[in-house]
Amino acid sequence: MVATLPSRVRANAGPAAARRRRSPWAVLRENVVWGVAVLALIYLLLPNLVVVLFSFNKPNGRFNYTWQRFSLDAWLHPCAAPGMCESLGLSLKIGVVATIVSTLLGTMIAFALARYRFRGRTGSNLLIFLPMATPEVVMGSSLLTLFVSMGIPLGRTTILIAHIMFCLSYVVVTVKARIAGLDPRLEQAAADLYANEWQTFRRITLPLVAPGIAAGALLAFSLSFDDYIVTNFNASNASITFPMYVWGAAARGTPVQINVIGTAMFVLAVLAVALGQLAGRRRSR
């Protein structure tokens, strides 16, 4: 497999490759780079393949770790694992609300930081950066001390507060990058054509920034939906999210249904990304 790849690459590169001088060392280097890259891709994807494969397993005991025989049971009865679908519902609810709030607040901050020079801008940038440079265990535990000291009961509200907090910075960074990459001439052209500021923003700026906002929202949702560490510090026994359910299952016994959810998420997300890219390509045409 490794041996065939470079030839395909060479075919893709076309005339550019023919012009380049090719020493034996260069040929070897190309092989090595692709060889390591393919191994890295296998390393990245292997666990996903295992998750998909084992969603069709019928394990003998409580743990779904060794392959026994093919079965569609888990796919036909996804909610048969007690408590799992409730935890999934809670994670989806928290994920949606956290995404909406953090995307809204984060986009506002991104516009302020990307478009204005003002006092305290450096400090604001630092405050955005710090949560991303803080390990989850520190963020989770510090919020726990706040909630406990203030006598605030732990539950879905405290989880939501925490999720909005750590999603915010990622939305800001994503949207800010998009705003910084805009062509300023488009807005100037709108102004030349007598558009007022609000019209320019709504008809020109916002549609151009929208892909960045969408990417930020997608990132926020996946961060929220997948979070275990921060959530675990700020949850109660009555607010079990899907990752907390999986963590508990790792100790008690892993139902096949968690793999069904993992597989479905994977397929849906890949489809969404593929559709997004197709739409983007059609628009750019």
Partner 1 sequence: MTATSAAPAARSRRRIAGLPYLLLLPGMLWLGVFFVVPMVFLLSQSLQTGTLETGYRLTFHFATYSDSLAQFSRQFVRSFEYAFLATVLALLISYPLAYAIALKSGRWKPVLLVVVVAPFFTSFLLRTLAWQTILNSDGLVMKFFRGTHLIELTSALGWTNGSQLLSSPLAVVTGLTYNFLPFMTLPLFASLDRLDPRLLEAAGDLYATPLTAFRRVTLPISMPGVVAGTLLTFIPAAGDYINSQLLGNPQTAMIGQVIEGYFLRINDYPTAAALSFALMFTILVLVSVYVRKSGTEELV
Residues within window 56-95 making contact with partner 1, judged by CB under 8 A:
65-66
E strand map for 36-180: none
Q: Which residues of 117-144 are buried (b: 16+ CB within 10 A; e: fewer)?
A: eeeeeeeeeeebeeeeeeebeebbeebb
Stretch that binds partner 1, among 76-84, 92-100, 206-214, 267-275 (CB under 8 A): 267-275
Q: In whole angstroms, how close is the CB of 284 to partner 1 at the nearest point? A: 12
Task: Please select the residue that binds partner 1; options are 145, 206, 253, 279, rule is CB under 8 A.
Answer: 145
Task: Please select the residue that binds partner 1; options are 4, 76, 118, 122, rule is CB under 8 A.
Answer: 118
User: CB–CB of 110/175 below 8 Å?
Assistant: yes
The neighbouring-strand residues paired with 70 are: 57
User: CB–CB of 160/94 below 8 Å?
Assistant: yes
Contact between 265 and partner 1 per CB under 8 A:
yes
Contact between 136 and partner 1 per CB under 8 A:
yes
3-state secondary structure of 170: helix
Contact between 124 and partner 1 per CB under 8 A:
yes
Most distant pair of Cα atoms in the chain: their distance: 72
Q: In whole angstroms, how close is the CB of 240 to partner 1 at the nearest point? A: 13
Task: Please select the residue that binds partner 1; options are 96, 138, 206, 275, rule is CB under 8 A.
Answer: 138
Stretch that binds partner 1, among 44-52, 70-78, 79-87, 208-216 (CB under 8 A): 44-52
C-beta neighbour count of 241 within 10 angstroms: 28
Contact between 27 and partner 1 per CB under 8 A:
no
Contact between 13 and partner 1 per CB under 8 A:
yes
Contact between 209 and partner 1 per CB under 8 A:
no
Contact between 206 and partner 1 per CB under 8 A:
no
The residues, ordered by sequence, that sit 6+ positions from 193 with a Cβ below 8 Å of its Cβ are none
Contact between 112 and partner 1 per CB under 8 A:
yes
* Residues contacting partner 1: total by CB under 8 A: 102
At 88, which helix (H) or strand (E)? helix 84-115
The residues, ordered by sequence, that sit 6+ positions from 99 with a Cβ below 8 Å of its Cβ are 167, 217, 220, 221, 224
User: CB–CB of 87/244 below 8 Å?
Assistant: yes
| Binding track, positions 154-183, relative to partner 1; x by CB under 8 A | -------xx-xx--xx--x-------x-x-
Stretch that binds partner 1, among 78-86, 92-100, 123-131, 208-216 (CB under 8 A): 123-131
Q: In whole angstroms, how close is the CB of 72 to partner 1 at the nearest point? A: 19
Q: What is the torsional sign of CA 6, 11, 12, 13?
A: positive
**Interface positions, 221-260, toward partner 1 (CB under 8 A):** 222, 225-226, 228-229, 232-233, 242-243, 246-247, 250, 254, 258-259
